Amino acid sequence: FQSFSQVDASTTRRYGGTGLGLVISQRLTELMGGRITVTSEVAAGSEFRFTIRGVAADAPRTTHRDLSGVQPSLSGKRVLVVDDNATNRRILGAHLDAWGMQSQATGSPTEALGWIHAGERYDLGILDMHMPEMDGVTLAHAIREHAGDKTLPLILFTSLGRREARAESEGFAAYLNKPIKPSQLFDALVSVLPDQPVLVPQRGVTKSELDPDMASRHPLRILLAEDNVVNQKLALRLLQQMGYRADLAANGLEAIEAIERQPYDVVLMDVQMPELDGFEASRAITRRWLVGDRPRIVAMTANAMQGDRELCLAAGMDDYVSKPIRVEELIAALAQSPRRVAVVRQPGEHSKPDDRAGTIVAEEAPIVDPAALERLRATMGAEFLREMTATFLDDTRELIGTMRRALGERDVDSCRRAAHSLKSNAASFGAMTLATLAGELETRAKSGTLDGAGPHVERLAAESARVERALGEGVA
């Protein structure tokens, strides 16, 4: 239980430290009126025990929340909604109106600022992160510059992770990830509105958060790249409780070899590993495989410091979770990892930007997730769902037309915005393959080039036709 400084602090270190965590644990137990002890046997292992003083408490009772109809804690509150995506605005508006709130929505940040400057008053604002006129962060600054709105609670609506969107550092009261989930929207609203009679308990890591049916609804082939045995067991156990089985790699070299042998949908990549660390392994993977041919890479690191996410993204990683692993972060990372379609290639054959031919050997994800449609139907009603579906399909056709025009005009930014909107819309309706294709096109456009994007847009158009047929059957 003495402080320990690592001799080898590199990200590829062979031996991990064993002292600092014990010192912290000892001081925490002593502060809580207890003590910690250890018994250890060479080549057998160690056993730690601790005691603390505390008052016995009853376990909180879990109650089912009825989110249908007017909610007294929200009724009458005025909400400003700013999102350039018409589908998102209508879904948000449907939830807010059903709960008795008064929403005023626009796709133009400039129009929203005009309303505020004209004296319109709101109890809170929901701002989309990515909009063509100005992003959500810039709009938030402009709103707060107005003398009367310095305390207006603002919620950031984004398809990015919390860290990348800078929700906390920019002063947002809460954040919402796309696609919209009614329970998360409700929790965000009651938590940021002042003087509310409803107490929203802080979400903790509880057994109820682990959905044992998640793997059956959202099947994924997972590779866990982690050298720490304890972390391996923890991650594998969490995945098992969600119905997943994962392959294991003890370092970056083993991870690359595993991806060479078989396709994976997602790699949970530790940053600090021997032989080859997570950064170098990710760079090697992104060099060798195109976005559509490689798994989604989710970084796992205990260095939850400002700028770490940027380092991970710069190395080619797609997402970021901190350690110790939080259940809600892991679930969110997996939910955003689409099921890929595996393509059989001949030995020595490499993927090319226009090369998408091959034999499908992996089970495809459903064209439209029935559970997503049921959630929308239960929340909004069958008639509104039919209306929303028609709007979504009209928007999809328009967005694909925008992509085609952008290709002809070499307009990278218009193509990126259209792909981003389609990705968000498709995810809201559970059309995850369509959302994945749109996300891949968005990533290509973000790289600054549309070379080879023509076939991708046509695949996207073909998938949208499949989605339209599936929605015709599922919503009728």
Domain ranges in the chain are 1-7+16-54, 78-192, 213-336, 370-474
CA-wise closest residue to 128 among 138, 120, 119: 138
Q: Would you state the pLDDT for residue 351?
A: 44
**How much is the pTM?**
0.46
- CA dihedral sign of residues 459, 464, 469, 474: positive
Tell me how long the chain is: 476
Phi, psi of 300, deg, nearest 5: -125, 120
* Cβ count within 10 A of residue 402: 18
Question: Are residues 368 and 446 in contact, defined by beta-carbon separation less than 8 angstroms?
Answer: no
* Cβ count within 10 A of residue 459: 16
What fold is seen in the domain 213-336? Rossmann fold (3.40.50)
CATH fold match for the domains 78-192 and 213-336: yes
Mean pLDDT of residues grouped by 10 in the chain (476 residues)? 52 51 82 90 87 80 66 88 89 88 92 87 89 86 70 80 52 78 84 56 45 87 87 86 91 92 92 84 88 86 57 79 80 82 42 36 62 72 80 89 92 88 81 82 83 88 91 75
Q: Would you state the pLDDT for residue 59?
A: 64
Long-range contacts from 26-29, C-beta under 8 angstroms, 24+ separation: 26/1
Question: Are residues 313 and 301 in contact, defined by beta-carbon separation less than 8 angstroms?
Answer: no
Cα–Cα distance for residue pair 177/157, rounded to 1 Å: 6
Cα–Cα distance for residue pair 195/193, rounded to 1 Å: 7
> Where do we find the tokens 């929403």?
103
For residues 266-303, one letter each, b for 16 or more C-beta atoms within 10 angstroms of the residue's C-beta and e for the rest, the string is bbbbbbbbbebbbbbbbbbbbeebbbbbbbbbbbbbee
Cα–Cα distance for residue pair 6/455, rounded to 1 Å: 51
Cα–Cα distance for residue pair 336/186, rounded to 1 Å: 21
249 HSE (CA, 13 A, CB side): 29
Coil, strand or helix at 295: coil
Second-level CATH architecture of 370-474: Up-down Bundle (1.20)
Written as six digits, the tokens of 70 are: 């007017």
Cα–Cα distance for residue pair 203/40, rounded to 1 Å: 36
Cα–Cα distance for residue pair 90/99, rounded to 1 Å: 14
Q: Would you state the pLDDT for residue 11?
A: 46
Which CATH superfamily groups domain 78-192? Answer: Response regulator (3.40.50.2300)
Those residues whose C-beta lies under 8 Å from the C-beta of residue 396, and which sit 6 or more positions away, are 422, 425, 426, 464, 467, 468
Q: Would you state the pLDDT for residue 198?
A: 39
